Amino acid sequence: MSTSGSSYEPAFVEIDGVAMRYGGADGTLALRDCTLSVARGEFVAVVGPSGCGKSTLMRLVTGLWPASAGNVVVAGREVAGPLSVAGMAFQNPTLLPWRTILDNVMLPLEVVEPHRRRLRREREAYREKARQLLRIVGLDGFEARFPWQLSGGMQQRASLCRALVHDPQLLMLDEPFGALDVFTREELWTELQTACATLKPTVILVTHDLREAVFLADRILVMSARPGRIVAERRVPFGRPRTLDDLYTAPVQALVHELREHISAARRGEVLEAPHAA
């Protein structure tokens, strides 16, 4: 089974035969023989049963944990520590409460080169860029507020801006909308789609929400139950920009249903025949 999109060559993220065990020889084997690749500019969603190792996969790609076996290569280099080319957003926005929204969004620019070096000289241009991102996600006018003055959905929007402000080549999103109500979540899908169309990062999104995966991704990878590996992939054959109304069409619902069957099988420890990649 191919796990790379041929129309996006060359691969930007390559994970080859990776295993990950937490806590020594008797510990939890989270991933085994996990292989996938993501092409530059591609948007891939990873779905699978709870506890199958999705977040572990994200930690390996971003260099937050080392793999126990196998190779993780990003942008042609073996990952050996935290990646500066990656922007990240998680289920909880983790904004710093003592900084304004604008200053929270600016944070990666104070850490990641070459922005760190340029920041003092080009601060106003960078601030304008952060403001522009906040405008894209509908936070115009909230730049000077503090995180605790914003709703959860607004904080998550700001955290997406923070993940994008340093033009990361790789955007890693681990259930970034999981804690939000369905309406806010759907709004943010549209905003993320707009931001990605403008900034064109390579994206890996972990999600439990199959509609979210179909709305946002070019390709969806399904993981087995733990120890996780990729057992199916499905290219999303719908054009862009996608609208929320598209989610109610029969082809989208059929794809969601098919993915659901793969995950149900994975939960039972079974693997369905790999679906045809469109």
Tell me how many residues contact ligand ATP (CB under 6 A).
Answer: 12
56 binds ligand ATP (CB under 6 A): yes
Site for ligand ATP in 201-220 (CB under 6 A): none
Identify which of residues 166 and 226 has a Cβ nearer to ligand ATP in the complex.
226
Among 162, 226, 234, 262, binds ligand ATP (CB under 6 A): 226
Among 53, 147, 176, 275, binds ligand ATP (CB under 6 A): 53
- Could you tell me which stretch among 48-56, 92-100, 251-259, 268-276 binds ligand ATP (CB under 6 A)? 48-56
CB of 179 to ligand ATP, least distance (A): 12
CA gap 29, 188 in Å, rounded: 34
Among 23, 24, 81, 141, binds ligand ATP (CB under 6 A): 23
- Could you tell me which stretch among 20-28, 78-86, 120-128, 194-202 binds ligand ATP (CB under 6 A)? 20-28
CB of 253 to ligand ATP, least distance (A): 23
CA gap 214, 163 in Å, rounded: 22
CB of 18 to ligand ATP, least distance (A): 12
Is 255 in contact with 236 (CB distance < 8 Å)?
yes
Report CA dihedral (136, 142, 145, 147) to the nearest 10 degrees. -40
Binding mask 244-263 for ligand ATP (x = CB under 6 A): --------------------
Q: How far is CA 60 from the centre of its chain?
A: 13
- Could you tell me which stretch among 23-31, 72-80, 213-221, 253-261 binds ligand ATP (CB under 6 A)? 23-31
264 binds ligand ATP (CB under 6 A): no
Within 10 Å of residue 128's Cβ, how many Cβ atoms? 10
Q: In what order do the strands lie in the sheet with 202-206?
A: 86-89, 170-174, 202-206, 43-47, 219-223, 230-235
Among 50, 94, 151, 249, binds ligand ATP (CB under 6 A): 50
Among 54, 129, 162, 166, binds ligand ATP (CB under 6 A): 54
Is 206 in contact with 213 (CB distance < 8 Å)?
no
Residues that bind ligand ATP (CB under 6 A): 22-23, 28, 30, 50-56, 226
